[in-house]
Amino acid sequence: MISLIRSIWLTFLHLFHKKETIQYPEEKVQLKPRYRGRIVLTRDPDGGERCVGCYLCAAACPVDCIALQATENEEGRRYPEFFRINFSRCIFCGFCEEACPTYAIQLIPDFEMAEYVRQNLVYEKEDLLINSQGKYPGYNYYKVAGLDAGVKGKGEGENEEPPIDRHSLLP
Amino acid sequence: MSETLTYWIVIIGILFVLLNVAALLIWVERRMLALWQDRLGPNRAGPLGLFIVLADTLKLFFKEDWTPPFADRNVFVMAPAVVVICVLLSFAVIPFAPNIQIVDLNIGLLFFLGMSSLGVYSIVLGGWASNNKYSLLGALRGASQMISYEVFMALSLMGVVMLTGSFSLHAIVEAQKNCWFILLQPVGFVIFFIAGIAETHRLPFDIPEAESELVAGFHSEYSGMKFGMFFIGEYLGITLISAITVALFFGGWLGPAFLPPIVWFIIKTTGFILFFILLRASLPRPRYDQLMEYGWKVLLPLSLLNLLVTGGIILLLNQP
Amino acid sequence: MDVFFYIAAAVAIISTVLVITRKHPVHALLYLIVSFLAVAIIFYQLGAPFVAALEIVLYAGAIVVLFIFVVMMLNLGKETSLQEKTWLNLSTWLLPGILASILLIELVYLINTQPNSTITIAEVDPKAVALSLFGPYLIGVELAAMLLMAGVIGAAHIGQRKKKYWHRFLQEDEQ
């Protein structure tokens, strides 16, 4: 009986506590930098697309909302011909971000993407590709890759030794 | 002529005010519950979110009024009306102010008890006519809960009746001129209030509906305005129990003279309505057998003892 | 005021007839409630508001609820109403009906031939009821109380059940 009255009293005191509610449209919610929101495709420091069209994000996606087609330019650099994310399916799990070997696909702290028409939730590459390096500034995949795709010559990358002439290795 | 006119104005005025209060309580309850849970509650539509009442009512009106094909049609339609009729009829005997009372029956209190006991039918019939097992379980629980708690409710009120010597609510309020009955009958008040919560099947005694166990209990199959009737009936029931409590134990319209009597009555009643909502915010629901055990093994002996002691003291004081 | 009496009496009779003729037990009970309410109004008319209120609180409000409670749990469906139909054929009710109507005719005749057929209405307030209950009829009240006490104890005894242990670890050792 005493405990009941005590709990009634304590609940009553909550009348004077600070309210947790955030008055959303006027008052924005403070999101953490690692919040998993809208998915974007980032660019490397030189302004090139980071995505190499490896399909790992599409394979990792548990709801199959990512569709892309890889292609190659004349310098041998791979990039997606189209990149489509159906946000009406996306569950914002972040597996695509974890799967991405080049830090291209990233989830950013933004969730305000409501639409009246469901079709508008299908984002194409021009909607996804942003002019920013995202969470990993300064990272350029082709600088550390062994491949010559027009960014650097073979063997000129970071922590990369110049290519060895196989024939000179002969005893 | 003018007397009958004022009489009708009082009746229609009370009806109008009550229905509006019942609708307003939707907003009050949601706001207060929110505040007690550290939220803000509905505050968007209109000033302070007051138009939520309008939106809710409109929504209920425009919903499909679906009568399930497996239901017992006539009884199904009748059940929601019963609760509203019974509660509204009970308000006929409540003294809002010295001159604002629809009828001053000399069995006013018994009339209130009779109407509240007829209110059980809405739950029983609603649950039975729905032909749904959850509804039926809710109806069974509701019937046994309300019948049991009616007993203690009546018994706890008898102390007040003994002190006044009358069943008339007007006379009961008049008798509290010197001392409110809460001071003379604290046990009676506690038992009456607990029984009142059980009668209106409000949380924590909302066992007939118990949405975590029985979907929505006896009104699982109801929709549209028929559900709205149950909804309104519940809020009217809260208002009724609060008003009766005020009239019986807290001196009704009595209060310092700087405010008119009706205002005192409204202030006290509002306090009790808010207390009802506070109870909902703070207490968990007991199990069904706990509720019955508590009623029959604690409240019944306690109310009988209260009656005995009250009678004894009255006899002792009235001895020459 | 007489008009109200006759209306209430007519409602009472009609609803009681409907109680007998309804096939579905719950519907029959609903008409029984209406009948009780009509009887309560008649009591009120005759100057016994206390009895009227008790009629509603106890009979209409509590006892019929218990009836409905039981009937509800029996889950009586279409089969029972069919059964009821076969039971209620002409040969079963004709003879009792005739006998009862003979008695009814006699009753009406006797009432009509009574010299003083007007009912004197005397207001009986709750206090008078209480005084007579605890005065001249004290023994009746006490006998009823003893009967009720026996009923309560019996119910408590029947309702007792063995303590259930939900798990053997929670079981207390028997001394």
Q: Is residue C96 part of a domain?
A: no
- The model's pTM is 0.79
Check CB contact under 8 Å for C26 and B136.
no
- Per-residue pLDDT tens digits for B265-301: 888 888 888 888 888 888 888 888 788 888 888 888 8
Task: Provide residues of A within 8 Å CB-CB of chain B.
Answer: 4, 7-8, 10-12, 14-15, 17-21, 23
- Per-residue pLDDT tens digits for A102-132: 888 999 888 888 889 999 899 988 888 888 8
Same domain (yes/no): C62, C17: yes
- Per-residue pLDDT tens digits for B94-120: 888 777 777 777 788 888 888 888 888
- Per-residue pLDDT tens digits for B74-101: 888 888 888 888 888 888 888 887 777 7
Total number of domains constituting chain B: 1
Residues on chain C touching B154 (C-beta within 8 angstroms): 57
The C-alpha atoms of residue B302 and residue B187 are separated, in whole angstroms, by 8
Same domain (yes/no): C79, C133: no
pLDDT for residue C164 = 67
Same domain (yes/no): C137, C81: no
Same domain (yes/no): C13, C85: yes
- Per-residue pLDDT tens digits for B207-216: 777 777 777 7
Q: Is residue B7 part of a domain?
A: no
pLDDT for residue C175 = 46
Q: Is residue B123 part of a domain?
A: yes
Q: Is residue C18 part of a domain?
A: yes
Q: Which of B110, B125, B165 sits opposite C57 (nearest CB)?
A: B110
Are 3 or more Cβ–Cβ pairs between B and A shorter than 8 Å? yes
CA dihedral (B247, B166, B19, B73) positive or negative: positive
pLDDT for residue C103 = 93
- The answer to whether the beta carbons of residues C148 and C155 sit under 8 Å apart is no
Taking only the tens of pLDDT, chain A with its 171 residues reads 788 888 888 888 888 888 888 888 888 888 888 889 889 999 888 888 888 888 999 999 999 999 999 898 888 888 888 899 998 999 999 899 999 888 889 998 888 888 899 998 999 888 888 888 888 888 888 888 777 777 777 777 777 787 777 787 777
The C-alpha atoms of residue A147 and residue A154 are separated, in whole angstroms, by 7
Q: Residue C55: closest CA among chain B residues belongs to which residue?
A: B114
**pLDDT above 50 (res C157):** yes
The Cβ of residue B127 has, within 10 Å, a number of other Cβ atoms equal to 30
- The answer to whether the beta carbons of residues B273 and B200 sit under 8 Å apart is no
Check CB contact under 8 Å for A15 and B36.
yes
Domain that holds residue B72: 67-318
pLDDT for residue C117 = 56
DSSP codes, A68-111:
EEEEE-TTS-EEEEEEEEETTT-----HHHHH-TTS-EEE-S--
Check CB contact under 8 Å for B105 and C49.
yes
pLDDT for residue B298 = 85
Please, what are the domains in chain A?
Answer: 29-146 (3.30.70.3270)
- The answer to whether the beta carbons of residues C37 and C30 sit under 8 Å apart is no
Give the whole-number percent of chain B exceeding pLDDT 90: 0
Single-letter amino acid, residue A31: L
Q: Which of A93, A101, A35, A103 is nearest to A66 (CA)?
A: A93
Instruction: Collect all residues with Cβ–Cβ distance below 8 Å to A52 and sequence separation of at least 6.
Output: A70, A77, A78, A79, A101, A102, A104, A141
The C-alpha atoms of residue B125 and residue C71 are separated, in whole angstroms, by 12
Q: Is residue C133 part of a domain?
A: yes
- The answer to whether the beta carbons of residues A95 and A63 sit under 8 Å apart is no
> Which residues does residue A69 pair with via DSSP β-bridges, in sequence order?
A82
pLDDT for residue B250 = 84
Is the omega angle on the peptide bond into residue A80 within 30 degrees of 0, that is, cis? no
Same domain (yes/no): C32, C81: yes
Same domain (yes/no): C146, C68: no
Same domain (yes/no): C74, C15: yes
Angle, CA B162 vertex, CA B157 and CA B166 arms, to 5°: 90
- The answer to whether the beta carbons of residues B135 and B220 sit under 8 Å apart is yes
The Cβ of residue B26 has, within 10 Å, a number of other Cβ atoms equal to 18
Check CB contact under 8 Å for C30 and B75.
yes
Alpha helices in chain A (DSSP H): 2-13, 56-60, 95-99, 125-128, 141-144
Q: Is residue C118 part of a domain?
A: no
- Per-residue pLDDT tens digits for C13-69: 899 888 888 777 888 888 888 898 898 888 888 877 888 888 888 888 888 888 888
Domain that holds residue C139: 125-162
Q: Which of B106, B115, B147 sits opposite C62 (nearest CB)?
A: B147
Residues on chain B touching C45 (C-beta within 8 angstroms): none
**pLDDT above 80 (res B128):** yes
Q: Is residue C116 part of a domain?
A: no
Q: Is residue C144 part of a domain?
A: yes
Q: Which of B106, B136, B150 sits opposite C125 (nearest CB)?
A: B106
Q: Is residue B151 part of a domain?
A: yes
The C-alpha atoms of residue C142 and residue C138 are separated, in whole angstroms, by 6
- The answer to whether the beta carbons of residues A14 and A105 sit under 8 Å apart is no
Q: Is residue C119 part of a domain?
A: no
Q: Does B304 touch chain C (CB under 8 A)?
A: no
Domain edge (last residue) among C89, C110, C137: C89
CATH of the domain at C32: 1.20.120.1200
Total number of domains constituting chain C: 2
Domain edge (last residue) among C64, C89, C114: C89
| Pick from B115-119, C5-9, C162-166: least confident | C162-166
DSSP codes, B219-281:
GTT--HHHHHHHHHHHHHHHHHHHHHHHHHHS-TT---TTS-HHHHHHHHHHHHHHHHHHHHH
Same domain (yes/no): C82, C141: no
Q: Which pLDDT band holds residue C99 (cuts at 50, 70, 90)?
A: very high
**What distance separates the 2 farthest-apart alpha carbons in chain A?**
95
Q: Which of A8, A14, A23 sits opposite B38 (nearest CB)?
A: A14
β-pairing, A105-107 with A122-123? unpaired
**pLDDT above 90 (res C158):** no
> What tokens appear for B192 in the block?
């009456």
Q: Is residue C174 part of a domain?
A: no
Instruction: Calculate how close chain B gets to C164, using CA atoms only, in Å.
Output: 14
Pairs of residues, one from chain B and one from chain C, whose beta carbons lie less than 8 Å apart: 71
Same domain (yes/no): C11, C62: yes
